[in-house]
A = this chain, B = another copy of it.
Amino acid sequence: MSWQDKLRQVEPYVAGEQPKINNMIKLNTNENPYGPCKQIKDILKEIDIEKLKLYPNSDGEELRHALAKYHGLKDEQVFLGNGSDEVLALTFLTFFNGSDPVLFPNISYSFYPVYCDLYQMNYKEIILDQDFKMYVEDFKQPNSGIIFPNPNAPTGLLVSLDFIEEVLKSNPDSIVVVDEAYIDFGGQSCVPLIHQYENLVVIQTFSKSRSFAGARLGVALGNKEAISHLYDVKNSFNSYPIDYITQQIGLVSVLNSQDMKEKCQKVIQTREYTKTKLKELGFVVPDSYANFVFVKHPKIDGEELFLALRKEGIIVRHWNKPLIDQYLRVTIGTDQQMERFFEFLENYLNQKELL
């Protein structure tokens, strides 16, 4: 017996790399190419640093209120966490404690199985078809909980509100979590369904559409009772996950949501142009509703192209995993960044005589 025998056995999630390369074009972790609203700068200048000696508001009261208003919900229907990864981690721990498996798609956010391993929960992957499509029938089986991103990551594909409603109706005895990390890039949010279905929990993040990856804010929305259970578990883990400054700048972001929406529109325009351009270049391009595209070229190996791009300082995401190893996930950058990406691809395809 040793102290090592008492360790939790885990296989940690591996986040996209944050390489230190000069002049790189970073299209690998779905960050927003545009920064947050400029009012944040003023707020940071005005922060009273004496406030830092005091514990922050435990639940981020003001920010919570602003978000509730933004979503047409009551304050008690809003949960805040340290990035949506923490919100997801606490959501699994709060709601998925049955004996049946947790259900999620086999091609999806790769943190889901990691949470299950961490908490020693069973899970069963719902197998997507070869076009990465989900079928609602697959979610009609015994489970301890259901989670899927919408739009899905890394595919970018969207399901309809009808699809979500059918999953909710078929599973009144489970919490169904819809992970809307990328919803602001053109998808239709299922938040309004919260008024009808008490088993729906929606998770969103400030990291993507609100350009707050560096600030760590995630959100869960749901019925009052479910959200209060989530707070109970959070208060059994960490009383004060959101620091004072983040609460202040998060509030400014919500109060300036129009700025976020305009930046999302720019990303959407660039994404649509990117889809057209990549199709012209011979790529297979599933119909993404997110701030990334998930693409493959029928005649170029995924890893080979990933490495060739990397050599040019263009960093995209590639997984050495069955079913998706021929694909690259490419974050939508600025128009200028995407032009450099297309230019490289054109040269590359020309050299291979594939254009």
Residues A6 and B53 in contact in the complex (CB < 8 Å), given A18-B58, A243-B215: no
Inter-subunit contact B54/A214 (CB<8 Å): yes
- A155 on interface, CB distance cutoff 8 Å: no
Interface residues of A in 205-246 (CB under 8 A from B): 207, 211-216, 226, 229, 231-246
Stretch at the interface among A27-35, A65-73, A179-187, A292-300: A27-35
- A40 on interface, CB distance cutoff 8 Å: yes
Chain B residue numbers with a CB within 8 Å of A174 are 3, 6
Interface residues of A in 234-289 (CB under 8 A from B): 234-246, 249
Stoichiometry, as copies per complex, reads 2
- A337 on interface, CB distance cutoff 8 Å: no
Interface size range on A against B: 35 or more
- A144 on interface, CB distance cutoff 8 Å: yes
- A96 on interface, CB distance cutoff 8 Å: yes
Chain B residue numbers with a CB within 8 Å of A117 are 236
Stretch at the interface among A9-17, A130-138, A342-350: A9-17
Interface residues of A in 127-182 (CB under 8 A from B): 144-145, 172-175
- Taking A8-B97, A31-B54 as known contacts, 20 extra A-B pairs with beta carbons closer than 8 A to each other, sorted by chain A number, are A3-B172, A6-B96, A6-B145, A7-B95, A10-B232, A12-B232, A15-B55, A18-B54, A31-B53, A52-B213, A52-B214, A52-B249, A56-B214, A56-B216, A82-B82, A85-B238, A89-B238, A117-B236, A118-B233, A246-B246
